[in-house]
Homo-oligomer: A and B are copies of this chain.
């Protein structure tokens, strides 16, 4: 089955299944600006597709709140303001707390093994001081928790938020010089999985995200 994380389908045409993702990224990165009109034909020409897949992508972007479509008039980019992003961080925190609680209650053995493996990679990269690899494994660690929560909507929403924050933030090296600190925060989270203590996990995740926000400033 060729299904990828975010429910993105990869089909024959090189861009068809990814058009939604492509436009999403363009909006989040600011390549498409607030208020800009998105003509279907224009997108067709740019990506070499017909209107059918373009319209499907538009409907999805509309549902995600990234564009607004007015009947018989067209689609307009909405984008995210600074406050939207700040809000998104809080929304993410609220859901991460739920996710870790449920994950600790519901995680399977295989999933916990993968989480342990991810944590061990974090230890390794911290030792080696590789901040960029740390960023990647950090994302994986959190995604494993989302999956272990065994709630499709929560998993999907948190993955989307992660993408939004990743695409917009300039967190290229925001954890340089904080690697040990970050590792310690994840250790507390992982420990909560070992001791099967949802409340401890919730506290650890909330603290981790608060610190992450402070670091990104």
Residues of A within 8 A of B (CB): 1-3, 7, 9-11, 17, 52, 55-57, 59-60, 62-65, 68-72, 78, 84, 87-88, 90-91, 94-95, 97-98, 102, 151-154, 156-157
Q: List 15 A-B contacts (CB under 8 A).
A: A1-B70, A7-B63, A7-B68, A9-B69, A10-B71, A11-B72, A52-B52, A63-B63, A63-B64, A84-B153, A87-B154, A90-B98, A91-B95, A91-B154, A94-B94
Which of B2, B87, B152 is in CB contact (< 8 Å) with A78?
B152
Contact A87 B52, beta carbon cutoff 8 Å: no
State how many angstroms separate the Cβ of A43 from the closest Cβ of chain B: 15
A65 to B48, CA, bound (A): 29
Known: A56-B56, A84-B153. 16 other contacts (CB 8 A): A1-B70, A2-B71, A7-B65, A11-B71, A11-B72, A17-B71, A60-B60, A63-B63, A63-B64, A65-B153, A87-B98, A87-B153, A87-B154, A91-B98, A94-B95, A94-B98
Distance between A201 CB and nearest chain B CB, rounded to angstroms: 15
User: How far, in angstroms, from A59 to B58 measured CA to CA in the complex?
Assistant: 10
| Closest B residue, CB atoms, query A2 | B71
**A65–B78 alpha-carbon span in the complex (Å):** 23
Cross-chain contact B60 with A63 (CB below 8 angstroms): yes
Q: Quick one: which of B52, B63, B87, B156 contacts A102, CB cutoff 8 A?
A: B87
What residues of B have a CB within 8 angstroms of the CB of A11 in the complex? Answer: 71-72
Please report the C-alpha to C-alpha distance between residue A65 and residue B2 in the assembled complex, in whole angstroms.
Answer: 17
Find chain B residues with CB under 8 A from A90 CB.
98
